[in-house]
Amino acid sequence: MKLSLSREEYARKVAGITPASPLARDMLFAFLTGGGICLLGQLFLEFYLSLGLSEELSGSLTSVSLIALGAVFSLTGLYAKLARFGGAGTLLPITGFSNSMISAAVEFKSEGLVSGLGANAFRIAGPVIVYGISAGILYGAVYWLSSRL
Amino acid sequence: MPQTMKKCGEGSFELSNPVRIASAACAAGPFEKRGLLKEAFDLAFDDPYLGEKTWEKAEGSLARRIAAKLLEKSGLAPADVDFFFAGDLERQCMASTLGLLPYEIPYFGLYGACSTFTEGLILASALLDGGFGRRAGVITTSHFSTAEREYRTPLIYGKQRQPSAQHTVTGGGAVLLTALPAPEGVPYAAVTRFRVGRMRDMGITDAGNMGAAMAPAAAETLTGFLEDFGKTGDDYDLILTGDLGEVGHRILKELTHGMGFPLEGVLDDCGRLLYKEEQDAHAGGSGAGCSSLVFASSVLPRLLRGELGKVLFASTGALLSATSLLQGESIPGICHVVEVEAFSGKERA
């Protein structure tokens, strides 16, 4: 028996039945998780500064520390568990970048070190780099041109 | 023209002789083992790798062990089986290949996404009813990890899923069908009628809501079948769809009601029967192994125990690929249905 509903009518029916994501809760958890990771970063920074290191070096060491910690959490599966609740709060900080690379590297190791791990390590992080660099070039060009005026 | 035309009504079929389900076997992974049907599985594994090195080999091993269990429970050697229909969700159905390779049984690889189990039941029943063999096997599997790899993101990649998303079942089931008469006095279940589904695309593009993509096809197949045989929902003890999940199940109830077939009292869905609420599997189970696992572990035993008399069993599939999704294509759905009936074994005498 053929369904006598247009796609638009069906889309309305589906929207009426499909439960929406709990946005308020998701945003609160994202704020707490993301904020927590940033707080951790701040603690790292303060620690390195307290050792008498330069601001630039302390900043780099903070990033490296968070990336390493993100990798450890990823490998133990804890990052995926945290992300179920943290959502964007785990995606945006540099630990999320670490997770995206580690997870792809682990995943594709079974297809070999070159065509598996090597080819796929940037599978998720790749777009961030491509468009990050593109945006940087564009910004640099605008900056250079405007400084000539 | 054959002597008896098996086609009934607009697009359904009735077998000349019911094709008996001689035995069934199933296996499940650790997540399913903690779920609602944990007692009913023939095999349940704590190690999602099943001792293998890759996820793909793990799913192949799953299929192989289910097939072995099926042969063991049937008391048959591979040479006793005339055909085997098998399917899974991996690219080019590799799990089925790896699983059945050791047995050297004449083999058909099928792809119907999560509708494959009913697709196999139909094809096997039709071949046996047509006199092409004595026994045929049908097996489908899925594995959470191979499906995540194929369709979504790496396993330990952190992400949040929407409430309508479904959890791919690690597990599968198999049945052995036979055209041979049942031993007298022993209750059995048999496939009696079927309808081959048509693809229906209602424009759903959200892979996190596959229930909505499949529900229209399920509604058309089920109402078409009931209409062709002049039946209603009251003629069945259970109408079980494949893996629409919670959301698709609710949509299907509304759709069939609107089409003049209120099925609220008898309708259920395999995706809703596997996991406990606290397992947080969102809208429920899915995957090619979902409906076969539920059929082998729950539906068939209930038919044999006499708890169910007549069942419509309708696996549902969302016809998408990782590429079609990225290219923004919508997701057509498909649903095939078989009627399975319990017999006391005394009818023939």
H/E stretch holding B192 reads strand B188-195
Residue spans per domain, chain B: 9-178, 188-343
List of chain B residues with pLDDT < 50: 1, 349
d(CA A32, CA B19): 59
Say yes or no: B144 contacts chain A, CB-CB below 8 A: no
Could you report the per-residue pLDDT of A20-50, keeping only the tens digit for each? 999 999 999 999 999 999 999 999 999 999 9
Tell me whether the CATH fold assigned to B9-178 matches the one assigned to B188-343: yes
**What percent of chain A stands above pLDDT 70?**
100
The terminus-to-terminus CA distance of chain A in angstroms comes to: 71
- Dihedral Cα A105, A109, A111, A113, nearest 10 deg: 90
Q: Count Cα neighbours of B181 within 13 Å in the Cβ-side half-sphere.
A: 8
What six digits make up the tokens of B189? Answer: 């279940």
Residues 6 or more apart whose Cβ sits within 8 Å of residue A22: B163
d(CA B169, CA B34): 12
pLDDT for res B2: 53
pLDDT for res A38: 96
What range does the domain containing A46 cover?
23-148
Q: Which of residues 104-133 of B touch A (CB under 8 A)?
A: none
Residues in chain A within 8 Å Cβ distance of B224: 1
Q: Which of A11, A80, A87 sits opposite B156 (nearest CB)?
A: A80
- Contact (CB<8Å) A3/B251: no
- Contact (CB<8Å) A103/B255: no
pLDDT for res B152: 87
Residue A31, in any domain of the structure? yes
List of chain A residues with pLDDT < 50: none
Nearest CA in chain B to A15: B212
pLDDT for res A1: 84
Residue A3, in any domain of the structure? no
What interface predicted TM-score (ipTM) does this complex get?
0.89
CATH architecture of the domain formed by B188-343: 3-Layer(aba) Sandwich (3.40)
Say yes or no: B247 contacts chain A, CB-CB below 8 A: yes
Q: What is the separation of C-alpha A8 from the centre of its chain, rounded to a whole number of angstroms?
A: 35
At the topology level, CATH places domain B9-178 in Peroxisomal Thiolase; Chain A, domain 1 (3.40.47)
How many folded domains does chain A comprise?
1
Q: Are strands B188-195 and B337-343 parallel, antiparallel or unpaired?
A: antiparallel
What six digits make up the tokens of B134? Answer: 């004595």
pLDDT for res B349: 43
The DSSP call for residue A114 is I
Q: What would the DSSP string read from start to end of B5-54?
A: --EETTTEEEEEEEEEEEEEEEEE-HHHHTSTTGGG-SEE-S-TTTT-SS
What distance in Å separates residue B157's CA from the closest CA in chain A?
5
Q: What is the CA radius of gyration of chain A?
A: 21
d(CA B240, CA B249): 10
- Contact (CB<8Å) A3/B155: no
